[in-house]
Amino acid sequence: MASVKSKSFSPLRFKDSFENFVFVLPALIIFSLFYIYPFYEIFRLSLHEWNGISLSQRFVGLENFKELVQDKVWWSSLGHAGYITVIALTFQNALAFALALACDRDIRLQKFYRVVFYLPPVLSEVVVGLIWQWILYAGLQNGQHIGLLNYFLDKVGLGSLIHHWLSDPQTALTCIAVVHSWKGFGWGFIILLAGLQTIDRQLYEAAKVDGAGSFHILKNVTIPMMIPVILVVVILTILGSMQVFVLVLSMVGQGLVYHTEVPVTRILASMMGTHRFGYACAQAIVFGAILVGISFLQIRWSKKLKQA
Amino acid sequence: MKINFYKIKGIVQSSFIHLLLMTVAFSCLFPLFWMVRSALMSQETIFVDKSLIPSQLNLHNFYLAWTQGNFGVYCLNSLIYTTSVVAGIVVISSLAAYSFSRLQFPGKNLFFFMFLAAMMIPLPGSFVPLFVLMNKLGLVNTRIGYILCMINVGLSLSIFLLKTFFDKMPSDLEDAARIDGCSKLGIWRHVALPLARPAIAVIVIFNSLNVWNEYILATLLLNDQSLMPLQRGLMVFQGVHSVDYPLLMAGLTITALPIILVYLFMQKHIIKGLSSGALVG
pLDDT digits (tens, 9 = 90+) for A43-65: 999 999 998 888 888 899 899 99
What are the start-end ranges of the H helices in chain A? 11-31, 37-45, 63-69, 72-87, 93-103, 110-117, 119-122, 125-135, 148-155, 169-196, 201-209, 214-217, 223-242, 246-251, 263-268, 277-307
For B121, name the nearest residue in chain A, comparing CA atoms only: A292
Report pLDDT for B281.
Answer: 43
Query: Does pLDDT of B263 surpass 60?
Result: yes
- Bridge partners (DSSP) of residue A59 are A48
pLDDT of residue A225: 87
Q: Is B226 on the interface with A (CB under 8 A)?
A: no
Rounded distance between C-alpha atoms, residue B254 and residue A178, angstroms: 25
CB contact under 8 A, B32 and A98: no
Q: Which residues pair with A58 in a beta bridge?
A: A49
The band of A8, judged by pLDDT with boundaries at 50, 70 and 90, is: low
B128, A271 contact by CB (below 8 A): yes
Mean pLDDT of chain B: 88
| pLDDT average, residue stretch A279-285 | 95
pTM: 0.90
Output the pLDDT for position A256: 59
Report the residue count for chain B: 281
Amino acid at site A89: L
Residue A78, Ramachandran bin (φ over 0: left; ψ between -120 and 50: alpha; else beta): alpha
CB pairs under 8 A between A and B: 252
Q: Is the pLDDT confidence value at A266 over 70?
A: yes
Question: Which of A185-194, A230-239, B40-49, B233-242 is the least confident region?
Answer: B40-49
Q: Give the model's pLDDT for residue B278.
A: 54
Q: How far is B113 from chain A (nearest CA, A)?
A: 12
Cβ distance of B255 and A124 shorter than 8 Å? yes
- Where helices occur in B40-142 by DSSP H, the ranges are 60-67, 71-102, 108-120, 127-137
pLDDT greater than 60 at residue A125: yes
CB < 8 Å to A95, chain B: 24
Digit-coded pLDDT (tens) for A150-169: 888 888 888 778 888 888 88
- The answer to whether residue B52 neighbours chain A at the CB level (below 8 Å) is no
For domain B74-240, the CATH architecture is Orthogonal Bundle (1.10)
Residues of chain A in contact with residue B149, where contact means CB-CB under 8 angstroms, are: 34
Q: Cβ distance A230 to A192 under 8 Å?
A: yes
- Shortest CA gap A56–chain B (Å): 14
Q: Does B249 touch chain A (CB under 8 A)?
A: yes
Cα A216 from Cα A75, distance rounded (Å): 42
Interchain contact B10–A (C-beta under 8 A) = no
Comparison of pLDDT for B130 and A295, the residue scoring more: B130
B50 touches chain A (CB under 8 A): yes
Residue among A222, A227, A95, A116 nearest B271 (CA):
A116
Asked if residue B181 has pLDDT above 90, the reply is no
Residues contacting A195, CB < 8 A, separation 6+: A100, A226, A228, A229, A230, B278, B279
* Contact list, A115 vs chain B (CB under 8 Å): 264, 267, 271
Indicate if the pLDDT at residue A237 is higher than 70.
Answer: yes
* Residue B3 binned pLDDT confidence (cut-offs 50, 70, 90): low
Residue spans of the domains in chain A: they are 64-307
Give the model's pLDDT for residue B218: 93
Q: Is B159 on the interface with A (CB under 8 A)?
A: yes
ipTM, two decimals: 0.89
| B57 touches A at CB < 8 Å | no
Count the residues in chain A. Answer: 308
State how far the Cα of A292 lies from the Cα of B72, in Å rounded to an integer: 41
| CA of B130 vs chain A CAs: smallest distance (Å) | 6
Each residue of B5-62: pLDDT tens digit? 778 887 888 888 899 999 999 999 999 999 999 898 887 777 777 777 777 778 888 9
Cα(A261)–Cα(A84) distance, integer angstroms: 11
Average pLDDT along chain A: 87
Element (H, E) at A140: strand A140-141
- How buried is B270 (Cβ within 10 angstroms: 0-12 exposed, 13-18 middle, 19+ buried)? buried
Q: Does B67 touch chain A (CB under 8 A)?
A: no
**In chain B, what percentage of residues exceed pLDDT 70?**
97
pLDDT of residue A117: 94
Query: Are the C-beta atoms of residues A174 and A242 closer than 8 Å to each other?
Result: no
CA dihedral (B181, B185, B186, B191) positive or negative: positive
B107 — phi, psi (to 5°)? 80, 5
Q: Is A1 exposed, middle or buried (0-12, 13-18, 19+ CB in 10 A)?
A: exposed
Shortest CA distance from A50: residue in chain B = B132
- β-bridge mates for residue A49, sequence order: A58
Chain A nearest C-alpha distance from B171 (Å):
17
**A223 to chain B, closest Cα gap in Å:** 16
Which CATH number, 3.40.50.720, 1.10.3720.10, 3.40.640.10, 3.30.420.40, labels domain A64-307?
Answer: 1.10.3720.10
Q: Please say whether the beta carbons of A132 and A172 come within 8 A.
A: no
Cα B47 from Cα B38, distance rounded (Å): 10
Nearest to B255 by CA among B231, B223, B232: B231
State pLDDT tens for residues A20-37: 999 999 999 999 999 999
- Domain-wise residue ranges, chain B: 74-240
Test mutation, B19, B21, B147, chain A, max A CBs within 10 A: B21
Least confident of A31-35, A118-122, A207-211, B110-114: A207-211
**Count of CB atoms situated within 10 Å of the CB of B137:** 13
| Distant-in-sequence, close-in-space partners of B134: CB < 8 Å, separation ≥ 6 | B140, B145, B149, B221
Q: Taking Cα atoms as reference points, which of B123, B142, B126, B124 lies closest to residue B221?
A: B142
Q: Is the dihedral of CA A75, A80, A86, A92 positive or negative?
A: negative
- The winner for highest mean pLDDT among B39-53, B79-93, B119-133, B253-267 is B79-93
pLDDT higher than 90, residue A291: yes
Q: Which residue in A287, A97, A249 sits closest to A181, CA to CA?
A: A97
Which pLDDT belongs to residue B25? Answer: 95
* B110 in A contact zone (CB under 8 Å): no
Q: Which residue has the higher pLDDT, B138 or A257?
A: B138
pLDDT category, A144, cuts 50, 70, 90?
confident
